[in-house]
């Protein structure tokens, strides 16, 4: 029978991990990630590969979490599950950031973005990479350093970076959306409303990741004595469930067919030599 043990006198776990819950979310993330990977290969939307990697990290994280029930005194399983589940949403966020730039280019509305499209993706992804690196370092330090509080502080700092970057991203997206609706009414006639459906998908996925990040900040600020770290159900409700919902929504409204900016330029050149309309050409990507 499994029992809670310590590692060199330090309690890595404050409870015995729930194996059935870990198994359920392992299966759910495996299914969702497989669907997105299939859509990515089918449409050659390689920019979504980071989302797939994030899904794999979630899946592996919950596999190891289930296995760790009988290994609560071992460091490696704790570090792997903690780090993978913690940083996976940062990879989801990277795909979300890259999708916006492609939406803007696909409807040829670059001038309506408050940030130049060529810089937009780079700026948000750089912020995401910083968040990812700080959280990863903090997760490792929390379990291996003599000062786990420093690791917790790093994780909170990384999560704050993620929240701030997401906030700027959502504002940027909303302003672009508003400008297109008020200044470019011909967009719907030329390109349909698929771009707007994709923006709504980005809003929802972004909100889910944002709520999850806020939960994680509160969790780590509360520390080892806080309610959130002591009760496993909070992780599954405010992290696992929200991130699985993000995977499902991203898969449901998969942005793969969106063309990159370079492809748009090529299509415009082709359009000049053909009688086809721009929106038909874009749909062929």
Give me the DSSP letters along 200-218: HHHHHHHHHHHHHHHHHHH
The number of angstroms, rounded, from the C-alpha of 234 to the middle of its chain's C-alpha atoms is: 19
Work out the pLDDT band at 97, boundaries 50, 70, 90.
very high
pTM: 0.86
Evaluate if residue 15 carries a pLDDT over 90. yes
What pLDDT, on the 0 to 100 scale, is given for residue 70? 92
What pLDDT, on the 0 to 100 scale, is given for residue 189? 67
165 contacts 195 by C-beta, under 8 angstroms: no
167 contacts 143 by C-beta, under 8 angstroms: no
Query: Cα dihedral sign for 248, 250, 253, 256?
Result: negative
Work out the average pLDDT over 117-128.
90
What pLDDT, on the 0 to 100 scale, is given for residue 113? 93
In angstroms, the CA 205 to CA 248 distance is 9
In angstroms, the CA 189 to CA 183 distance is 13
Evaluate if residue 151 carries a pLDDT over 70. yes
What pLDDT, on the 0 to 100 scale, is given for residue 31? 98
The label of the residue with tokens 């719907």 reads 188
Q: What is the pLDDT of residues 48-93, one digit of tens each?
A: 999 999 999 999 999 999 999 999 999 999 999 999 999 999 999 9
What pLDDT, on the 0 to 100 scale, is given for residue 3? 86
Q: Which two tokens stand for residue 54?
A: 């994030």
In angstroms, the CA 238 to CA 217 distance is 12
Q: What is the pLDDT of residues 163-187, one digit of tens each?
A: 999 999 999 999 999 999 988 877 7
In angstroms, the CA 78 to CA 29 distance is 19
- Mean pLDDT, all residues of the chain: 87
**CATH code reported for the domain at 19-256:** 1.20.1070
In angstroms, the CA 230 to CA 52 distance is 30
Work out the average pLDDT over 246-261.
83
User: How much of the chain exceeds pLDDT 70, in percent?
Assistant: 89
Listed by start position, the domains of the chain span: 19-256
Q: Which residue has the higher pLDDT, 117 or 23?
A: 23
């Amino acid at each position: 029978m499994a029992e809670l043990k310590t590692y060199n006198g330090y309690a890595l776990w404050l409870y015995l991990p729930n194996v059935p819950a870990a198994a359920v979310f392992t299966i759910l993330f495996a299914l969702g990630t497989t669907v997105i990977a299939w859509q990515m290969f089918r449409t050659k939307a390689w920019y979504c590969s980071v989302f797939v990697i994030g899904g794999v990290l979630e899946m592996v994280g919950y596999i190891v979490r289930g296995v760790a029930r009988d290994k609560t005194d071992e460091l490696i399983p704790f570090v792997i599950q903690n780090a993978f589940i913690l940083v996976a949403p940062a990879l989801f966020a990277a795909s979300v950031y890259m999708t916006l730039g492609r939406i803007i280019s696909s409807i040829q509305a670059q001038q309506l973005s408050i940030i130049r499209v060529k810089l937009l993706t780079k700026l948000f992804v750089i912020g995401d990479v910083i968040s990812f690196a700080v959280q990863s370092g903090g997760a490792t330090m929390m379990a291996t350093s003599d000062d786990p509080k420093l690791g917790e502080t790093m994780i909170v700092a990384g999560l704050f970076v993620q929240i701030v970057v997401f906030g700027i991203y959502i504002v940027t997206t909303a302003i672009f959306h508003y400008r297109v609706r008020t200044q470019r009414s011909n967009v719907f006639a030329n390109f349909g409303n698929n771009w707007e459906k994709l923006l709504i998908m980005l809003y929802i996925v972004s909100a889910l990741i944002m709520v999850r990040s806020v939960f994680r900040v509160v969790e780590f600020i509360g520390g080892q004595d806080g309610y959130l770290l002591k009760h496993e159900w909070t992780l599954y409700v405010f992290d696992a469930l929200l991130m699985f919902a993000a995977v499902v929504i991203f898969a449901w409204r998969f942005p793969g067919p969106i063309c990159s900016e370079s492809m748009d330029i090529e299509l415009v050149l082709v359009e000049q030599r053909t009688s086809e309309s721009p929106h038909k050409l874009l749909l062929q990507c």
